[in-house]
Amino acid sequence: MLKYIGRRLLYMLLSLFLIITATFFLMRAAPGGPFSGEKQLPPEIEKNLNEFYGLDRPWYEQYFDYLISIAQWDFGPSFKYKGQTVNDLINNGFPVSFFLGMEALFIAVGLGILLGIIAALNHNKWQDYGAMVFAVMGISVPSFIMASFLQYVLAIKLGLFPVARWESFMHSVLPALALATTPMAFIARLTRSSMLEVLSNDYIRTAKAKGLSKFQITVRHTIRNALLPVVSYLGPLSAQILTGSFVIEKIFGIPGLGSHFVLSISNRDYTTIMGVTVFYGIILLSAMLLVDIAYGLIDPRIKLAGGKKGE
């Protein structure tokens, strides 16, 4: 296990290096600059700003300096947020996005697996059809449409929740539901198809022949093996949800990391774009590592070193 984790950490470092390099050169290749906009600055002021932030130096010096800064966990100053560094923006925005993402993740995983199990155990019955209709609607309806619908029905019409802002737990319910709808529907479909495949295996028929109850067969033999595809999906899903949804945070006025990322793109804030992208990359690679480790814990037959099932 330790040897496998060490090898994966090396792959993570290589992947992170490629992400940093690609982001750096894509930012430099884009036309314009962080100080060019609708309101043109005087040439001497723009020159002084470029000199102050080191943008007038050769690209290779900027590149190697940035690699050293990243190694020291220093993403540099923000060009647009005066007096703040990119680290400050991440430290302020990520806890909000993380809380919202954890809430949405619990909703998506809990309800998604539950709906999938109900649909699989009642195959071709009304419970199955109802769960799958709900899943198709969840996948088909974009998150921003679902967010507007929840705001109109549950907040404006019924007054059960606040419409927007971020002040208490009640303010997080609607954005978490909107953020969880699509992955919940996908997990439900994934769980259903995986459980139907597991239920058709010989060892399930053997368990039924031994007289085990439906509850015992489901809990002890079916769910654990059916969760492997769901676990593989949770890696990128966790990274996506925990770092925040740009659209959902914008609709509900949530001061998360997503809003900073959107504004940094429109403002051409190079350091913020690169810093947040690298931070997202670290979250994604870490989530994928945890998923691979979870594979071995859920199914001990999987050999982590080779990635193949044992006999």
User: Taking 60 as the threshold, does the pLDDT of residue 220 lie above it?
Assistant: yes
Domain region containing 127? 95-253
Residue holding tokens 């954890």?
102
Asked if residue 298 is part of any domain, the answer here is: no
Gap between the Cα atoms of 62 and 66, Å rounded: 6
pLDDT in tens, 111-161: 998 888 888 888 888 888 888 888 888 888 888 888 889 999 999 989 889
> CA–CA separation, 311 vs 308, rounded Å?
10
> What would the two tokens of residue 83 be?
């007096």
Split into its structural domains, the chain has a count of: 1
Establish how many alpha carbons lie within 13 A of residue 238's alpha carbon, considering only the half-sphere containing its beta carbon: 18
Confirm whether 224 is domain-assigned.
yes
The answer to the question of residue 65 being in a domain is no
Facing residues of 85 across strands? 77
pLDDT of residue 33: 64
- Give pLDDT, residue 40: 66
User: Residue 189 is part of a domain; what is its CATH number?
Assistant: 1.10.3720.10
Give the global pTM. Answer: 0.77
Residue 175 is predicted with a pLDDT of: 92
**Per-position DSSP letters for 8-32, written without gaps between them:** HHHHHHHHHHHHHHHHHHHHHHSSS
Report the percentage of the chain scoring pLDDT > 70.
Answer: 88
Residue among 32, 11, 57, 48 at smallest CA distance from 65: 57
Residue 13 lies in a domain: no
**Residue 233 falls within a domain, yes or no?**
yes
Confidence (pLDDT) at 174: 92
Classify residue 268: in a domain, yes or no: no
Q: Is a pLDDT exceeding 60 seen at residue 308? A: no
Burial of 229 (0-12, 13-18, 19+ CB in 10 A): middle
**Per-chain mean pLDDT for the chain:** 80
Residue with tokens 């509900």, as numbered in its chain: 252
2 versus 145: the higher-pLDDT residue is: 145
Place of tokens 């929740």: 161
The pair of three-digit structure tokens given for residue 146, joined into one six-digit string = 């679902």
- Has residue 240 been placed in a domain? yes
Residue 222 lies in a domain: yes
Query: Does residue 83 or residue 243 have the better pLDDT?
Result: 83
pLDDT at residue number 300: 58
Cα dihedral 86, 91, 89, 273 sign: positive
